[in-house]
Structure 1
């Protein structure tokens, strides 16, 4: 998980601020940290929309703020677990830190089944990408099912069989192999010219390498640096204006 802790102490405050009623400082510091965290979240989402290609709503909604308490600093963090699927905290790692992309669950399943070599990566065909530039989870499940690679735990039945129900789903039309000189996952098709195949995934011997396009921590650092003084002053004004006599 990657997350940012935002803490504010009185060590960097101006002398005039220190001369204000010190009984307000604990509340003011917590409010300052929490408000800064909210600004960081807003700024991070703005950058994500600009730099990440068509981020899905789930990705944008996975960024949270935890308010500061007397025991813990404010935090800005990506959800690191889902009921199903891969959390944003995991699949955003390469955009935040850059570097070589590790194998995805889909690829690990293909490797475990012997359909793809351990050093290869499955690159999707453009025609199978959805509106967000990704292959849908449903299609990947169908592909794995059709090739007998979907069952990863005891008692879980997802692989295609010869039953009428299974055949009706059409998952058996997917297969792994080499067509021409290209290894990959293919879909059998019926056209007016006869039977044909088209690539769903092509296997590459080179690992995808990502550059850092979403420097999460640097963005947060700049936001905090730019707004810390004003946010503290606003919090102090609020505390003094609402304080009991």
Structure 2
């Protein structure tokens, strides 16, 4: 089953630290501290996490994208069938995630997922009514199992997060964990406010910074004259200029 979100948690200093073997909140839950720093509750990927480095979502797999729908989706339905050609799905892998119809004729509606059934990979793996939406959410438009109608299904951005690789980002940048989170455990990931992060190169005080494309998990100077840099987009502004390969302060602005 999916969780029910509480309102934004008004936390105390120190609540952002720690590692939980069993989740205390739904993935993506928002925490705000007294100084307005904001965090999201995240599940770490398979590898043990590193504190104060930039993280991103898991790269969406091909078997979750542009798959043909299974069965007609009728107005008012709270569920849809799933099928895929290459990627098995485990129970509730997409809980707190999103289901979306891609075709222009289907109007691009997006639906929050409450739970999903197991789905084998195959030719294709199928599951009638395998994806169920959050209570009160239902299909806004009839979508027929015909005519090239396809769907995407996405995990929550803060589920199975990975360190931002030493390349252009390969998925959405989601924030900075302030403490170590063991692989497949849960903890908080900072998305806004004054944060510590690994630095690559020379930053400029007050200027924008971006996810670095050469050092994993680091931020670097934002240079709009360099077409290779601006494509990554800013993640915040520089508060303190630290030496390269050390940790500096940034005003994070992801969330």
Give the TM bin, normalised by the shorter chain: under 0.3
- More strand by percentage: 2
Who wins on radius of gyration, i.e. which is larger? 1
